[in-house]
Each structure stands twice: as C-alpha cells, then as structure tokens.
Amino acid sequence: MTERIVLAYSGGLDTSVAIGWIGEATGAEVIAVAVDVGQGGESLETIRQRALGCGAVEAYVADASDEFANEYCMPTLKANGLYQGHYPLVSAISRPVIVKHLVKAAREFGATTVAHGCTGKGNDQVRFEVGIQTLGPDLKCIAPVRDLALTRDKAIAFAEEKGLPIETTKKNPYSIDQNVWGRAVETGYLEDIWNAPTKDIYDYTATPEFPPAPDEVVISFEAGIPVAIDGVKVTPLQAIKELNRRAGAQGVGRIDVVEDRLVGIKSREIYEAPGAMALITAHKHLEDITVEREQARFKATVGQRWSELVYDGQWFSPLKRSLDAFIEDTQKYVSGDIRMTLHGGQAIVNGRRSDTSLYDFNLATYDTGDTFDQSMARGFIELWGMSAKVASGRDIRVAGK
C-alpha cells in the first residue's frame, strides 16, 4: 500500500504546491486537511476542490470555528492570556485545534506522516510537531519548506509548470495568519523595527485617529465566559465576532510588538485582535471585583506562565493541564456585567456589577454608613511591619559596631 501523508492545507500557494512537491519527493499520496477557525475568506468547499485539483487524493475539511471559540479562545480568556503582556496568542491557540484534526485525519485515512508548511525559523513548527508527537506519537512529521527545500520561487515555478489552479503572480510582502481571535502580520517592510506600520496592513480594525461616535457596550459573563452582549444572549463565537465588529470599528486591539520567539530570536509582529482585547479587558475588570486578593495575585502569575506554555507549543502538556485546573477554579464566581466604552482605539470600563462581587459599599465608603472599624488599623500596622522593624533594628545595631 502506498504511504500516505496528511498536509495542513491553507489553500494558498505554498501548501498547494506542497501537495505535488511532497508526492514527487517521497512517492507518497497526500491528503489535504483544511480547518476553519474563523479566518474568513474562501469557503471550505472551494479550498477542498483546489486541493483535489492540485493533486491531493483526499481532502479533509472541518468547520471548527465553534470548537475553536469554545475550547481554545475561552480558556485563553479565562487565563487573560497575553504573551509578554501584549500578544493574545492569536496563532498559538489555533495550532492545537488544527493538530487535533490533522491527527484525526491521519487515523481516518491511514497516514503515517503529517506535514505542515512552517519554516525552520518560527514558533509554529514547534507547536505543530510537539502537538502531533503528543496526540499521535507514532506519526512522523515533515515540513516541505524546511525539510524539502521548497522556497517561494520554486513554488511559483512548480505551480506554473504543473498548471495548478492557484494564483502565482501576486506577491504579498507580508506573512499573514488570521482567525476569529485575531490577525497576525509579519515580515517584509516590518522587519525594520523603526518602520511604522502602513495603513494597508490592517484589516480587522479601522483607523483609531478618526473614530465614529463612542460605542457603549455591556458584556455579561457567567463563570468567566461571555454569555450576552447588551442583554442579547450569545455563544462564545458570536461574542467574539460581535466585538470584532464593534471594537474593530473603533480601532481597538492594534498591537505592535517585538517578541521573543521560542527559537531564540526576536521578531517584530503586528497584531489586531479587537474582540479578544475587548473581552480580556472586560474579563479582567470583572475578576477585580469577584476574585479574592491573594487568589488574584497568584492567578496573575499562573496566567503569565500559562501564556508562555501556550506560546511555546505546550498546549497538551501536563503543566498546562494543571494550570487549567487552577484557572478554572478561580472562575467560579466570575459572573456579572461589565459596561465599557469603545472609542478611538481604547476599550474603557466605566461600570461593573455582580451578584458574587466582593466589593462591599459599606466597607469602602467614607460617608455615613461606613461599617469599617478604623480603630483596627493601628494594631494591624504594628503587626504587619513587625518583621521589617526587627530586621531594621538589627541592621542599625550591627552597623554601629
């Protein structure tokens, strides 16, 4: 029986050419696997037909947009997942769901190898291959661009020679990856980190310098998950899409950052994630009134480590699974409403309410009705500072000798 290889297929030039390129280099049959994670653009059927037209013996296509929103975006929201405090893990969280379907397709079609279109320079090769090793430890991995010397000029020449049904003449200077959680842009003009992004880079967001009238929105959460917008019930996918639209119209969620890649180099990235950033902002503010102080402090540390693990391709790791359990426990009371104004590139929270809030008006107020016993403060301060006071006395005593 001829060996079979499943290929993570985007429908673009490189992965379309990779179908035939892999076949010629290995003698194997190629099954194209396309996964919709809310990236928009062409229909799955169009992509399927193109894969078959480029020589795939089978084409596995999956609409995973709800799965992605529910099982990958929502855990990221609960963790307030931001790599290096900036990046909402747009590409990093899409790779595990794609890996899941790649392994599923490999089992379904009897493939022994999984292929992806990543280079040897980026993070995605790690995310794909570590995930595949974890879910399908018997499967081998290859990367045509990295392992089979498939460069862009070779891809164009191969496509023209074979008459493949794919556009080969239009060259976008940027590398773009997008899904419903956001959009990532790199390379080209942006590699000079002094260059400011040009307007043509953006697609999910409007220019924040000339915004429409302010847009006030109320987001309702239950156990850390958005369940309604302005009183209208929504699924996680609908919540992300609605805030992509409304926050995007106000220019919210533009991020320009130089980040530390897993492979050891720094990389300039442009992200736009209007829905993700609006939801994370709202979620953080709701946690401020519903999560106990020490738990919240520790969760911030956990969230940072969680983000690093996910960025580094460890979605399926034991540590990430353990951190998930802690984060999930913190979300028990994260229910309520957040009111925010979207305007001029900012999402500003101006109201919050919750039946499970830890905010006590009578303890917080300085007016009549104050129930806080201020006489307790003097003894508290004495005890709180005791350790430092004793150490300071020791330091003065030793220094005087």
Catalytic residues: 14, 95, 124, 175
Whether 120 has a binding-site annotation, put simply, is no
| Of 127, 309, 123, 49, nearest in space to 114 by CA | 127
3-state class of 284 per DSSP? helix
Whether 301 has a binding-site annotation, put simply, is no
Whether 333 has a binding-site annotation, put simply, is no
Whether 127 has a binding-site annotation, put simply, is yes
Whether 267 has a binding-site annotation, put simply, is no
Whether 174 has a binding-site annotation, put simply, is no
Whether 392 has a binding-site annotation, put simply, is no
Asked if residue 28 lies in contact with residue 55, where contact means CB atoms within 8 angstroms, the answer is no
Whether 373 has a binding-site annotation, put simply, is no
Total length of the chain: 401
Spatial distance between the Cα atoms of 99 and 312, rounded to a whole number of angstroms: 15
Whether 7 has a binding-site annotation, put simply, is no
Helix residue spans in 9-43 (DSSP H):
13-26
Whether 152 has a binding-site annotation, put simply, is no
Spatial distance between the Cα atoms of 364 and 296, rounded to a whole number of angstroms: 19
Whether 13 has a binding-site annotation, put simply, is yes
Whether 10 has a binding-site annotation, put simply, is yes
Residues in Cβ contact with 117 at an 8 Å cutoff, skipping those fewer than 6 apart: 7, 8, 10, 14, 15, 18, 143, 144, 145
| Of 11, 16, 5, 61, nearest in space to 35 by CA | 61
Whether 207 has a binding-site annotation, put simply, is no
Whether 248 has a binding-site annotation, put simply, is no
| Of 247, 321, 258, nearest in space to 280 by CA | 247
| Of 246, 329, 326, nearest in space to 282 by CA | 246
Q: Between β-strands 113-115 and 4-8, what pairing exists: parallel, antiparallel or unpaired?
A: parallel
Asked if residue 41 lies in contact with residue 66, where contact means CB atoms within 8 angstroms, the answer is no
Whether 202 has a binding-site annotation, put simply, is no
Q: Which residues are annotated as part of the binding site?
A: 8-16, 87, 117, 119, 123-124, 127, 175, 259, 271
Q: Which residues are annotated as part of the binding site for ATP?
A: 8-16, 117
Q: Which residues are annotated as part of the binding site for L-citrulline?
A: 87, 123, 127, 175, 259, 271
Q: Which residues are annotated as part of the binding site for L-aspartate?
A: 119, 123-124
